[in-house]
Structure 1
Amino acid sequence: MRHLSALCFTFLGKVGVFVNETTARVNEIIELTGIDIVQLHGKEPSQYCQKLERKVIKAFKIASNFNLEQIRAYEVDAYLLDTCGKGIYGGTGESFDWEIAKRAKRYGRIILGGLNPGNIKAAVGQVSPYAVDIGSGVEIRPGKKER
């Protein structure tokens, strides 16, 4: 049993996903729901993250011209790297250049997004991320999981 518990991530718990919400509202929702982790997908500045009362995962939309220095400003518990989609905040299920994720590991824990059943093994093998996010990568349509 001890061996199994050692394999568990420190990010187990209820995750609340927010996009451009006020810190007051996020903290209110934390109080009401007991959320353990806050995942931010909007244009929240680095100072915003320090005002939250839980662990924070900050998502970054990765495009070919992504500047890794953007990550440096954020002192959060993990960085979620996801594919940049026009007009949406994450959840594309599309992959991006994993070399960017490999270089981003120098800033801390990387959670790799843009994964699906067809690419997850290769992605984990190449990047060795802290964790993976496969949410939309296993949907047959938005909000409907197939696997």
Structure 2
Amino acid sequence: MNIRCKICGMTREEDVLLAADLGVDAIGLIFFAGSKRCVDIRQAQRILAKTPPFVSVVGLFVNPTKAEVEQVLSQIPLHILQFHGDESPEFCQQFNRAYIKAVRVQSSKDIISAAQNHTNAQALLFDAAVAGEYGGTGQTFDWQLLPQQLSMPWILSGGLTPSNLKMALAQTGAQAVDVSSGVEISAGIKDHEKMKLFLDNLKNI
């Protein structure tokens, strides 16, 4: 099975074009003002205009209001929503879009609880828990906390790089990965050589 890949925190059209050429399955746009990789509506529209067919566009939110999500959806035709805060299942389900629920992993209980509560999520995304941060930290979590079997699809995130990708997949058996800071020059500015190396390593596993 091909391992699916999303590159998150996109802010430039040229990075999206390269990601598509390299064969990513999805790109992520962040609509959270607290992120260094946040994009506004105009940026997102420019990026979307350059995104080829069959590349999914994921919109990331952190504890938004319903109105904030609806405002973005009214102008940006996102394929998938990603909620990275403390959103309830009821909140996540109300937008008639597939959604991913991110889990900041501190213990195995976090994983089990999310799987029990967010049964309608397209997938869970497991990330490192860093105080005051919601993704893009460059930190890994203890992969041994991942259960042998999980009742729903999941995505490995948190501190992935071209150099640790092979080890991460060998240890976790992940079938989908999400990378951001591990392929960057600086926040939101992707390093094209690191992107190529990451995708090359993924294809050669």
TM category, shorter: 0.7 to 0.9
Task: Provide the C-alpha distance between the structure 2 equivalents of 1:23 and 1:16, rounded to a whole number of angstroms.
Answer: 14
The count of corresponding residues between Structure 1 and Structure 2 is 141
Q: State percent identity of aligned pairs.
A: 36
How big is the alpha-carbon RMSD for the aligned residues of Structure 1 and Structure 2? 2.3
Q: Does 1:119 align with 2:164?
A: yes
Contact in 1 for aligned 2:104/2:127 (Cα 8 Å): yes
Task: Provide the C-alpha distance between the structure 2 equivalents of 1:81 and 1:36, rounded to a whole number of angstroms.
Answer: 20
Deviation at 1:138, TM superposition (A): 1.9
Give the alignment of 1:1-147 within 5 angstroms: 12-64=55-107, 66-71=109-114, 72-75=116-119, 76-101=121-146, 103=147, 105-114=149-158, 115-146=160-191, 147=194
Q: For the structure 1 residues 105 and 132, does the alpha-carbon distance in structure 2 shift closer, same or farther, using more than 3 Å as the test?
A: farther
Deviation at 1:27, TM superposition (A): 2.9
Task: Provide the C-alpha distance between the structure 2 equivalents of 1:14 and 1:142, rounded to a whole number of angstroms.
Answer: 19
Deviation at 1:50, TM superposition (A): 1.4
Contact in 1 for aligned 2:104/2:110 (Cα 8 Å): no
Task: Provide the C-alpha distance between the structure 1 equivalents of 2:139 and 2:148, rounded to a whole number of angstroms.
Answer: 19
Q: For the structure 1 residues 52 and 105, does the alpha-carbon distance in structure 2 shift closer, same or farther, using more than 3 Å as the test?
A: farther
Deviation at 1:78, TM superposition (A): 0.5
Q: Which has the higher contact order (CA 8 A, sep 6+)?
A: 2
TM-score (norm 1): 0.83
Contact in 1 for aligned 2:125/2:154 (Cα 8 Å): yes
Deviation at 1:117, TM superposition (A): 1.6
> 1:3 — aligned with what?
none
